[in-house]
Amino acid sequence: MPVSLQNLLVIGISSRALFDLETEEAIYQNEGLVRYREHQIAHENTLLKPGAGFALVQALLKLNTLNPEQRLVEVVIMSRNSSETSLRIFNSINHYQLDITRAALSGGTVLAPYLKAFNISLFLSLHEEDVQAAANSGVAAALLYQKPDAQVQQLDQIRIAFDGDAVIFSDESERIYQQFGVEAFEQHERENALNPLVAGPFAPVLKALAYIQTHFKSADGQSPIRTALVTARASPAHERVIRTLRAWNVVIDETFFMGGVEKSAILEAFQPHMFFDDQIVHCQLAAPLVPTGRVPGFKKD
């Protein structure tokens, strides 16, 4: 009977996001596919260093060992590599003892058509075209920045931080702010405080993490997952956020209503395995401090 990936948090990650392949990317861009192929085959047994998404993937896969009765997370390599250039990737996966057994190797073609076939919940890549195509197809996706120089601490908890509007929630309120200013935005949020916000691209990811947390409830309230909302909103725009999460039956562990204050100091203190935001400026400021992924908006063809 076929294995089902339904009811799992399925992470699709590119090989370049999982491992540091920047040297190889430069060879491909500057010297072409043939030279890239020769390099990868010649270095099949040279281990790759962890990349921008490695810490998050490693931490999430640990959940399966903490809950042996039921798998909760699957990771699928989604790569434009061909099978003949991928052995180095699989050798590195084995070396780091990552429980990854599935891969989609598209041989240079776009990956978006295969995301739903693998029931991908979240797609992570350093290739902007693939991330945008994934977002356009309705899959939560983020363009990863290079990992910060400082190593992510080996915390007992998986820590993930999210921006609010255009990430967890839709960009409806954000568009009002951009078009009409802060006063119109605050008035709109006051008038709609009792109306839940529309779910954004990362709402399913947050809900999946909340569901997984229910498998680890303990008497002291500790969980191997800890989430944070770090949003530029402030009073009076806070109430709608709180009521929306309550309507979704989702509890976020830590919430920071920044009111326009820069987010980086909070993120550095929280130490997430990944921070997701849609604003380039926030991502650029956060990326030197914590692993960061930029969430693209939907774009019509």
Closest CA to 295 of 179, 124, 112, 147: 124
What are the distances in angstroms from CA 85 to CA 32, 44, 45, 146? 14, 8, 12, 23
Instruction: List CB contacts of 173: < 8 A, sequence separation 6 or more.
Output: 165, 185, 188, 189, 197, 237
Closest CA to 139 of 298, 276, 272: 298
Q: Are 292 and 283 in contact (CB under 8 A)?
A: yes
Exactly one of 20, 130, 163, 171 is catalytic; which is it?
Answer: 163
Strand 274-277 and strand 292-294: the pairing is parallel
Where do runs of H (alpha helix) occur along the chain?
Answer: 15-18, 22-31, 33-42, 54-66, 87-95, 112-115, 128-136, 172-180, 182-191, 203-213, 238-247, 264-270, 280-286
CA 184 to chain centroid, in Å, comes to 31
Write the single-letter amino acid at 254. E
Overall size of the chain counted in residues: 301
163 is catalytic: yes
CA 229 to chain centroid, in Å, comes to 14
Report, as residue numbers or ranges, the catalytic residues.
163
